[in-house]
Chain A
Amino acid sequence: MGDILGLVAKRLGMGLMILLIISVIIFFMVELLPGDIAEAVLGQGATEENVRVLREQMGLNDPALFRYFEWLKGAVMLDFGRSIVTQEAVMSVIGERFRNTLFLATYAAVIAVPFAIILGVIVALLRNSVFDRVANVLTLTSISSPEFFLGYILILFFSVKWGMFPAIASLNDSMSFWELLNRTFLPALTLVLVVTAHMMRMTRAAIINLLASPYIEMAKLKGTPPWKVIVRHALPNAWAPIINVVALNLAYLITGVVLVEVVFVYPGIGQALVDAVSKRDFPVVQACCLIFAATFILLNLAADVGAILTNPRLRHPK
């Protein structure tokens, strides 16, 4: 087990390094804008006086390196400064929304991951059958359709025609958990449709890839029934690639869902990011970017650890 802890610590350290590099990029990209942030925020119509005041206010007269470390120090404690537009603390602008995003992503993931993997196992078992082809065509169709289109189709049927679920996923504090689930079912379902295909096809491919292995033939020649050959003998050796694809899709559920949020008017972080970009609210943009980066790194780290844990050679060294 000591080896595994060492490996995990190494990956964690690397993740932190990467995050640091990204923070440098995020911070100094803004510095690369022509003029400075103050001019960019206020636009061309700004007077000298206004720009000077804003500069003062944002501390732009200090050297960039100094500001970077100030910003980084704050970021470590989740203090990303104040929004230029509303003057509120950045965290109070996006904190709530990030929680909403996490909720929706978890909701979608809890459905999509087991569904995709079970479906993947079934199509691997019934490979090249009609069921396999239909499942492939359907999941490919859903991944190829734009999310907003899928969202509107779901709204058309589930809310307008059949009236089963609300079309708008606005939230408030007084809602019960079940009400929340009901409210956010359609956006979650849209996301499920978008991410299922990728995970299912990887599960199928990873399993089929192993079917030529001698130990699979051995299992067959021991009289093991086909479903058991797949579930007991192929799947346990196929986890590493599957876990990686799952992690990528989970990251997508958090960072790539702005279209779905717009369609269902869901108060997630994607919308906050788009708002901030259009209003040139740089502290908010930087905070969102850093959170997204951290999400990706953390999920990839989890995937690496998962792949290590499912490898018997690493789990049980000689």
Chain B
Amino acid sequence: MNDKKKKDVLLKIRNLKIQGYTDETWIDIIKGVDLTLHRGEVMGLIGESGAGKSTIGAAAMGYARDGTRISEDSSIEFDGMELMTATESERRGLRGKRIAYVAQSAAASFNPAHKIIDQHTEAPLQYRLKKRMEAQEDAVDLYNRLRLPNPEEIGFRYPHQVSGGQLQRAMTAMAMSCRPDLIIFDEPTTALDVTTQIEVLAAIRDIVDQFDTAALYITHDLAVVAQMADTIKVLLKGEEVEQATTKEMLANPKEEYTKSLWAVRSFKSPQRTREGRECLISVKNVDASYASGPKILDDVSFDIYEGMTVAVVGESGSGKSTAARVITGLLPPQKGEVLFKGDPFPVDYRNRNKEQLRQCQMIYQSADTALNPKVRISEIIGRPAKFYSGLTGAALKRRVDELLDLIELEPSKYYNRYPAELSGGQKQRIGIARALAAEPSFIVCDEVTSALDQLVAEGILRLLDRLQDELNLAYMFITHDLATVRSIADEVVVMQHGKVVEQGPKDEMFRPPHHPYTDLLLSSVPEMDADWLTTLLEERGLENLGEAASKKIDPGDKKVMPSDA
């Protein structure tokens, strides 16, 4: 992959400057980035969110996102054509035809009102490259190459009738519809489960190879980019940090910042054991469903001991969050019960008294939506302190200051601010403080780090770990990210299709033999090795990826030695 012959330059970006409009002024987002991409080359753009990766991706198409503008003195040259001086209709003539785009969330980027294939054929018809029938046949051919199930039929469905991983592949097929010279992949697998991610990665890499298409692959996940790219460019706050071939970059990162990215998953909390601890929450044989829908939880049982972290892992839809809703009383179960220190907890939160309510608090995935934007920090944290502990006046103020200290935000600085004035990581800290204000013994952390950058997420994990030791908190840590599990969990519960397939202490869980589903999950996490995907594909075979692989597992299966890995 890395020894491709030197080919013609396809995209040449020089001194790219992009400004964004915030707070009534134009602020520099991209501060003079250079980029050279050859035909058939795949370049990975990597960096934290806010580093301007996606903005550069859009700019490569001569497109400035809403609220941004590209500086006049930048130069974007695509195959000899200067996009900065080209007319809007000249630039538009490239989009979809010679440069295509694959967005992060296929579910949101497909128009819900049209069939997938009609959106696929839109560009070829628009550019009069093909007749409708030809374009449709070509779409089916691409669906085939991308190994979509029922390629003949799948395009004639509406986007909501197709799963996320399949949609993402259909979107890649759509990008290929005019056989472009360049495709911009903007975090194409970030929204997917690890098991689904693999099949999409394999499909993308395969099709890019087949048509020798050049690509800009934008992501924040190093292990992913290592599988996909020939060269990697690291960005920080709108500036380039360094660029090198993938092998070189993995083996020998030069800049401090790049090294810190590589080392980010170093945090590991020492594993605690149940010895000498009391069982705090006990979920016993719980069945649950929403309204009269299908069963979401099926005979789920697990225990959470005081001061310990139980990570609940599984793909989306496996029932992780539903289990949390049952414990907190938001969703009364149809069968089974929840015990708190051995006594049954009322199943409906409305029947719990204040003392019972305060025991279970929640921290949510997206602090953006979980904090009321119109309310000051002091009140967000102060309200539960007032409600549960009856604090008022100076005592309340003292308590809020104390909580802000706990989450390492300076009280005098943040007391009167609004959520919008904080960064993502700070908002998540406020979410933690709000949960702590009730003085709980148990906190549900629902994907609390998945919306954050790795460096920031690590800070949150360290904070949670410190608070756990200081306040003897028990956590139920819902996540699909196994790296997070490795760093913070004491015990692990693996869920699939509403059932607990395996549970136990962390060290046992990460050591074979595994339940086949656990094995699938573990082996699907990309590793920091450029050949990881290739090796995995050789071992598993193309037909045994993602959905196909998880279907082959019998959920009732006893623990067996992994046979195919």
Please, which residues of chain A bring their CB within 8 A of the CB of B110?
Answer: 215, 218
- Let me know if B111 is at the binding interface, CB within 8 A: yes
A236 within 8 A of B: yes
Q: Which of B326-340 contact A (CB under 8 A)?
A: none
A313 and B105 within 8 A (CB):
no
Taking CB as reference atom, which chain A residue is nearest B99? A221
One of A215, A220, A233, A316 near B95 (C-beta < 8 A): A220
Bound-state CA distance A292–B361 (Å) is 52
Given the interface pairs A237-B111, A312-B112, the reply to whether A217 lies near B103 with Cβ below 8 Å is yes
A237 to B123: give the CA distance in the assembly, Å. 20
Would you list which residues of chain B between 70 and 125 have a CB under 8 Å from chain A? 92-97, 100-101, 103-105, 108-114, 122-123
Q: Does B160 contact A (CB under 8 A)?
A: yes
Kindly identify which residue among A217, A223, A233 contacts B96, using a CB–CB cutoff of 8 Å.
A223
Tell me if A222 is interfacial: C-beta within 8 Å of chain B.
yes
Q: Does B109 lie within 8 Å of A214, measured CB to CB?
A: yes
Is B160 touching A223 in the complex (CB atoms < 8 A)? no
Q: What is the number of residues of chain B that contact chain A, defined by CB distance less than 8 Å?
A: 32
Please pick, from B112, B126, B157, the residue contacting A223 in the complex, using a CB distance under 8 A.
B126
- Enumerate chain A residues within 8 angstroms of B66, measured Cβ to Cβ: 212
Is A100 an interface residue when CB atoms closer than 8 A count as contact? no
- In the assembled complex, the Cα of A45 lies from the Cα of B123 at a distance in Å of 81
Residue of B nearest to A317 (CB): B161
- Once bound together, how far apart are the Cα atoms of A221 and B178, in whole Å? 13
Expressed in whole angstroms, the Cα–Cα distance for A221 and B95 within the complex equals 5
Interface membership of chain A positions 195-233, coded 1 if the CB is closer than 8 angstroms to chain B and 0 otherwise: 000000000000000001111011111111100100011
Please measure, in the bound complex, the distance between the C-alpha atom of A215 and the C-alpha atom of B108, giving whole angstroms. 6
State A188–B100 Cα separation when bound (angstroms): 50
Q: Which of A214, A220, A236, A313 contacts B114 (CB 8 A)?
A: A236
Would you call B96 and A312 a contact (CB within 8 A)?
no
Judge if B415 is at the interface, Cβ distance under 8 Å: no
B173 beta carbon closer than 8 Å to chain A: no
* A10 at interface, CB cutoff 8 A: no
Interface residues on A, range: 20 to 34
For the complex, is A318 an interface residue (Cβ under 8 Å from B)? yes
Q: Which residue of A lies closest to B105 (CB)?
A: A214
**Inter-chain contacts of A236 with B (CB < 8 A):** 111, 113-114
With a CB–CB cut-off of 8 A, which chain B residues contact A217? 65, 103, 109
Q: Which one, B58, B96, B112, contacts A222 given CB within 8 A?
A: B96
Query: How near does chain B come to A222, taking the closest CB pair, in angstroms?
Result: 4
Are B160 and A312 in contact, CB atoms less than 8 angstroms apart? yes
CA distance A316 to B160 in the complex (A): 9
CB-contact partner of A233 in B58, B97, B111, B126, under 8 A:
B111
| B63 CB–A CB distance under 8 Å | yes
Closest A residue, CB atoms, query B65: A217
Contact assessment for B63 and A312 in the assembled complex, using a CB-CB cutoff below 8 Å: no
Contact B94 A221 (CB under 8 A): no
Q: Quick one: closest A residue to B113, CB to CB?
A: A236
Which A residue sits closest to B101, measured CB to CB?
Answer: A221
Q: A236-B114, A312-B158, A316-B161 are in contact. Are A223 and B109 (CB under 8 A)?
A: no
CB distance from B96 to the nearest CB of A (A): 4
Structural contact, B122 and A222, CB atoms closer than 8 A:
yes
Shortest A3–chain B CB gap in Å is: 14
- CB < 8 Å: which of A214, A224, A312, A318 contacts B122? A224
Q: Does B61 contact A (CB under 8 A)?
A: yes
B127 close to chain A: CB less than 8 A: yes
Judging by beta carbons under 8 Å apart, are B108 and A221 in contact? no
Contact indicator A223/B113 (Cβ below 8 Å): no
Scoring A214, A225, A313, A316 by chain B CB atoms within 10 A of each residue's CB, the highest score goes to A214
Cβ-defined contact, B103 with A222, below 8 A: no
Q: With A and B bound together, what is the CA distance between A219 and B112 in angstroms?
A: 12
8 Å CB contacts to A: which residues of B119-165? 122-123, 126-127, 157-158, 160-161
What's the Cα separation between A224 and B111 when bound, in Å? 13
Would you give the shortest CB distance from A221 to chain B, in whole angstroms?
A: 4
Chain B hits for A232, CB < 8 A:
114
Neighbouring B residues of A221 by C-beta, 8 Å:
58, 61, 63, 95-96, 100-101
Q: Using Cβ atoms and an 8 Å threshold, which residues of chain B touch A214?
A: 103-105, 108-109
Identity of the chain A residue whose Cβ is nearest the Cβ of B111 in the assembled complex: A215
* Per-residue interface assignment for chain A, residues 271 to 312, with 1 indicating a CB less than 8 Å from any chain B CB and 0 otherwise: 000000000000000000000000000000000000000001
Nearest to B63 among chain A residues (CB) is A221
Please encode chain A, from 216 to 259, with 1 for each CB lying within 8 Å of some chain B CB and 0 for all others.
Answer: 01111111110010001100110000000000000000000000
Do A313 and B95 have beta carbons less than 8 Å apart? no
* A216 nearest in chain B by CB position: B111
CB neighbours (8 Å) of B103 from chain A are 214, 217-218
Given known contacts A220-B95, A223-B123, A312 and B105 CB-to-CB distance under 8 angstroms: no
B122 to chain A: which residues have CB within 8 Å? 219, 222, 224
B161 contacts across to A, CB distance below 8 A: 316, 318
Determine whether the beta carbon of B94 is less than 8 Å from that of A223.
yes
With the chains together, A215 CA to B113 CA distance in Å? 10
Q: Given A212-B66, A215-B111, are A224 and B160 neighbors across the interface (CB < 8 Å)?
A: no
> Given A237-B111, A313-B112, A223 and B97 touching (CB < 8 A)?
yes
A312 touches B126 (CB 8 A): no
- Bound form: Cα–Cα A126–B95 in Å: 22
Contacts of A223 in B (CB 8 A): 92-97, 123, 126-127
**In the complex, residue of chain A having the shortest beta-carbon distance to the beta carbon of B67:** A212
Q: Which residue of B lies closest to A213 (CB)?
A: B108
- Whole-angstrom distance from the CB of B184 to the nearest CB of chain A? 8
- Within the complex, what minimum Cβ distance (angstroms) separates A137 from chain B? 26
Residue of A at shortest CB range from B93? A223
Q: Which residues does chain B contribute within 8 Å of A233, judged by CB atoms?
A: 111, 113
Contacts of A213 in B (CB 8 A): 108
Closest A residue, CB atoms, query B127? A223
CB neighbours of B111 from chain A (8 A): 215, 218-219, 233, 236-237
* CB < 8 Å neighbour of B109 from A218, A225, A313: A218
Other than the given A215-B110, A219-B111, A223-B127, 20 more pairs (CB < 8 A) read: A214-B104, A215-B108, A218-B109, A218-B111, A219-B122, A221-B95, A222-B100, A222-B122, A222-B174, A223-B93, A224-B122, A224-B123, A224-B126, A225-B92, A236-B113, A237-B113, A312-B112, A312-B160, A316-B157, A316-B160
Using a CB–CB cutoff of 8 Å, the interface residues on chain A facing chain B are 212-215, 217-225, 228, 232-233, 236-237, 312-313, 316, 318
Name B residues whose Cβ lies closer than 8 Å to a Cβ of A: 58, 61, 63, 65-66, 92-97, 100-101, 103-105, 108-114, 122-123, 126-127, 157-158, 160-161, 174
Instruction: Across the A-B interface, give the 4 residue pairs with the lowest CB-CB distance, nearest first.
Output: A222-B96, A223-B96, A236-B113, A223-B95
10 A-B pairs (CB sep. < 8 Å) = A212-B66, A214-B103, A214-B108, A220-B95, A222-B95, A224-B122, A233-B113, A237-B111, A316-B161, A318-B161
